[in-house]
Amino acid sequence: MAHSPARAGAEPKTRKLPLQGRQALPAADPEKRKRLLHAAVQTFGRRGFHEAKIAEIAAEAGVAEGTVYLYFRNKEDLLGCVFDETMDGVLSQARAIRGAEGPAGEKLKQLVGLHLSFLARDRDLASVFQIELRRSARLVERFSRTKLSEYFRLLDGVLKEGIASGELRSDLDPRLAVRILFGAADEILSEWLLSGESKPAADAEKLVGTLLRGFLACKHETSQGRAPRRRRTTS
């Protein structure tokens, strides 16, 4: 899925409008629009955004090529809608986790689990989020300023809640901790995507548990653990 320049005349030219504040185009059939979004995920995920053609997306959805333009302005608009609408659903679940009762550690596991699971269940969608979206500077900027920043705020709120309750250490830097959590989950997904493995190397329980416990053995564990075996001496 290498980045390649657009070919002249490959697709109908449309006026590019700002992604921020974009309004949906009128469409008669919501189910057809849903099929087009699903086809876009499959096509972008397997062919790459820059290699994919509107005609291929239309064929995957079972519609005429011109029908796509009744619902989306251009290929970038399609990619932006995939991103926006997927993230809207994820963030809705994340807000519910943030607002629920329970310890901060458990909420962190659920939030990171949501991050991992919504991409790990669909390799095409993971490819769109982990690779294709990041090839568009416009979409990366939109991603960082809106959806990603809200996800960071939700993680930050849970961390501060844990610090205030005494569950988490008082000298924890929430801003750094947010980026550690996100960065670790992001790397696990990228490694899984490129490796071809059936599932990511770690789940939220293992990832967040490792970060909450840290890398150092606590005194209780070392004192209760078995004494190291002595080496046998040879005469």
- Which CATH number do you get for residue 52? 1.10.10.60
Average pLDDT over residues 126-142: 83
**Tokens describing residue 203:** 């789940």
pLDDT for 177 equals 97
The verdict on residue 230 lying in a domain is no
Do residues 91 and 196 share a domain? yes
The verdict on residue 160 lying in a domain is yes
Q: Which of 91, 100, 96, 142 is nearest to 118 (CA)?
A: 91
> Lowest mean pLDDT: which of 22-26, 165-169, 213-217?
22-26
Do residues 97 and 58 share a domain? no
pLDDT of residue 10 exceeding 80:
no
Q: For the chain, what percentages of helix, strand and coil (3-state, to nearest 5) are there?
A: 65, 0, 35
More confident position, 71 or 196: 71
Do residues 107 and 60 share a domain? no
For 13-51, how does the pLDDT look when each residue is reduced to its tens digit (9 = 90+)? 444 444 444 455 555 689 999 999 999 999 999 999 999
Neighbours of 16 (CB within 10 A): 11
Q: Is the pTM of this model over 0.75?
A: yes
Helical packing angle, 174-195 and 104-120, nearest 10°:
30
